[in-house]
């Protein structure tokens, strides 16, 4: 991804950048002190594109996803630098009221836990209808009709009856479908899915991914799919972003990435994928553990776990992203190394 200075048009056509994050850094304050959680994030999502975001637990994937729509509470966060351009508008500079108009209407979000993602006190149909009415200002009856239609779209059978159910009366898979219906109710141009299938069993997981794939094709929306399961990413995404300790380590088109990753961390992730076996969530092959939250190493953040690290080179200067054939990589040795991909 090369940065160009071209102005984004208000309505991007296919292939243009719908979302662009430039040098975004964010600190969080879990306690009294601010700790760096996201560092110099650069990414681009073109319209119609499906981008995968992988990385170990705690690498900042969810925080990044929440930041994209200004959902990280201001009270505990501090933006250090950067911009987040959605349709050419800097989201980080928007007022809360304008952000709320975008959320749910232009950008839909779904999350990992379908069990708890819906309000237990209201019927699921009413919750989806509330979102529709909020953004479209239609009547109750119209919203209801739209809910039924959307429930059909996300393949919920018997939608009239299901709309009147409370969340606890539905299975995990159905609840996730309701969440998807809510997220796409206003036909957003971008869907952010934060581990949408992690909490589901394998069969349901496959069905939900299939549904997302179909919706994406029908509605021509872009998707950011967060997962720590590279097999899911491989199957689903056009491009992948690898995150480590709050930084993007590599971004590449999916096919070249799997054959020839450019970052040692990405390579380690790929090798941790057992062939022809259900993917493991634990990245057990990789020794060591990520740095504690807020700790900033003087050089490359991955250096202490990297088998290719060279003392005096890798641990002295912070590394920036540099272009590759298929994307970008944050490794000063990228050109010297030939790394192994998946399936030897």
Partner 1 sequence: MLTFTIRRLLTLVPQLLVAALVVFVLTSLLPGDAAIARAGGESATPELIAQYRAQLGLDKPLVERFIDFVVHAATGDLGISFSTSEPVSDILLRKVPVTLSLVLLGFIFAILIALPLATIAALHPRGIADRISLAVATSGIAIPNFWFAILLVLLFSLTLRWLPATSYVPFSTDPLQWFLHLLLPAITLGHALAAELTRQLRASLGDHLRRDYVRTMRSAGLSEISVVGKHALRSALGPAVTTLGLQVPIAIGTCVVIEAVFDLPGIGSQMVQAVFSRDIQVLQGVILFTVLLVVVASFLTDLAYALINPKVRVQ
Q: Which residues bind ligand ATP (CB under 6 A)?
A: 28, 30, 37, 55, 57-63, 76, 228, 293
CA distance 223 to 108: 9
Interaction between residue 166 and partner 1 (CB under 8 A): yes
17, 18, 41, 69: which one contacts partner 1 (CB under 8 A)? 69
Q: Which of 279, 337, 335 is nearest to 307 (CA)?
A: 337
The entry of ligand ATP, Mg ion, partner 1, none near residue 86 (CB within 5 to 8 angstroms by kind) is: none
Tokens 């009239």 belong to residue: 160
The entry of partner 1, Mg ion, ligand ATP, none near residue 117 (CB within 5 to 8 angstroms by kind) is: partner 1
Interaction between residue 113 and partner 1 (CB under 8 A): yes
What does residue 32 show for φ and ψ, rounded to 5 degrees? Answer: -85, -30
Beta carbon of residue 313, minimum distance to partner 1 (angstroms, whole number): 42
The entry of ligand ATP, Mg ion, partner 1, none near residue 228 (CB within 5 to 8 angstroms by kind) is: ligand ATP
The entry of ligand ATP, Mg ion, partner 1, none near residue 37 (CB within 5 to 8 angstroms by kind) is: ligand ATP
Beta carbon of residue 175, minimum distance to partner 1 (angstroms, whole number): 11
Beta carbon of residue 248, minimum distance to ligand ATP (angstroms, whole number): 12
Restricted to residues 41-70, the positions that interact with Mg ion (CB under 5 A) are: 62
247, 327, 234, 18: CA torsion to nearest 10: 80
Instruction: Check residue 308 and report its DSSP letter.
Output: T
CA distance 181 to 114: 12
Beta carbon of residue 65, minimum distance to Mg ion (angstroms, whole number): 8
The residue (of 111 and 151) whose beta carbon lies closer to Mg ion is 111
Interaction between residue 227 and Mg ion (CB under 5 A): no
Between the alpha carbon of residue 90 and those of residues 45, 83, 159, 247, 315, the distances in Å are: 15, 6, 38, 21, 34
Q: Which of 152, 153, 131 is nearest to 143 (CA)?
A: 131
Q: Which of 280, 331, 337, 283 is nearest to 303 (CA)?
A: 331
Beta carbon of residue 244, minimum distance to ligand ATP (angstroms, whole number): 10
- What DSSP string describes 123-139? -HHHHHHHHHHHHH---
The residue (of 188 and 290) whose beta carbon lies closer to partner 1 is 188
CA distance 182 to 132: 8
The entry of partner 1, ligand ATP, Mg ion, none near residue 129 (CB within 5 to 8 angstroms by kind) is: none
Q: Which residues contact 284 (CB under 8 A, 6 or more apart)?
A: 272
Q: Which residues lie near partner 1 (CB under 8 A)?
A: 69, 71, 75, 100-105, 108-109, 111, 113, 116-122, 130-131, 134-135, 166, 168, 179, 182-183
């Amino acid at each position: 991804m090369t940065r160009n200075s071209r102005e984004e048009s208000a309505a991007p056509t296919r292939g243009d950048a719908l979302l662009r994050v430039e040098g975004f850094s964010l600190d969080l304050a879990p306690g009294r002190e601010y700790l760096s959680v996201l560092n110099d994030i650069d990414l681009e999502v073109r319209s119609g594109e499906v981008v995968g975001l992988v990385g170990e637990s705690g690498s900042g994937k969810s925080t990044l996803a929440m930041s994209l729509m200004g959902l990280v509470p201001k009270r505990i966060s501090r933006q250090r630098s950067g911009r987040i351009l959605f349709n050419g508008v800097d989201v980080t500079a928007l007022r809360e009221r304008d952000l709320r108009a975008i959320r749910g209407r232009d950008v839909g979000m779904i999350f990992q836990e379908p069990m708890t993602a819906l309000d237990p006190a209201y019927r699921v149909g009413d919750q989806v209808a509330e979102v529709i009415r909020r953004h479209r200002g239609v009547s109750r009856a119209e919203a209801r009709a739209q809910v039924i239609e959307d429930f059909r779209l996300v393949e919920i059978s018997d939608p009239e009856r299901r709309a009147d159910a409370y969340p606890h009366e539905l299975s995990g898979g159905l609840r996730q479908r309701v969440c998807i219906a809510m997220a796409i109710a206003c036909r957003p141009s971008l869907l952010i899915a934060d581990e949408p299938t992690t909490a589901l069993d394998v069969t349901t997981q496959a069905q939900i991914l299939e549904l997302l794939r179909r919706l994406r094709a029908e509605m021509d929306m872009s998707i950011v799919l967060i997962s720590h399961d590279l097999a899911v990413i491989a199957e689903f995404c056009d491009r992948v972003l690898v995150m480590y300790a709050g930084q993007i380590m590599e971004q590449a088109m999916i096919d070249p990435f799997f054959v020839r990753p450019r970052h040692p961390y990405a390579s380690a992730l790929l090798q941790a994928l057992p062939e022809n076996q259900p993917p493991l969530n634990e990245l057990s092959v990789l020794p060591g553990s990520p740095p504690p939250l807020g700790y900033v190493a003087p050089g490359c953040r991955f250096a202490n776990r990297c088998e290719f690290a060279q003392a005096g080179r890798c641990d002295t200067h912070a590394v920036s992203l540099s272009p590759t054939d298929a994307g970008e990589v944050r490794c000063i040795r990228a050109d010297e190394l030939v790394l192994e991909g998946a399936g030897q």
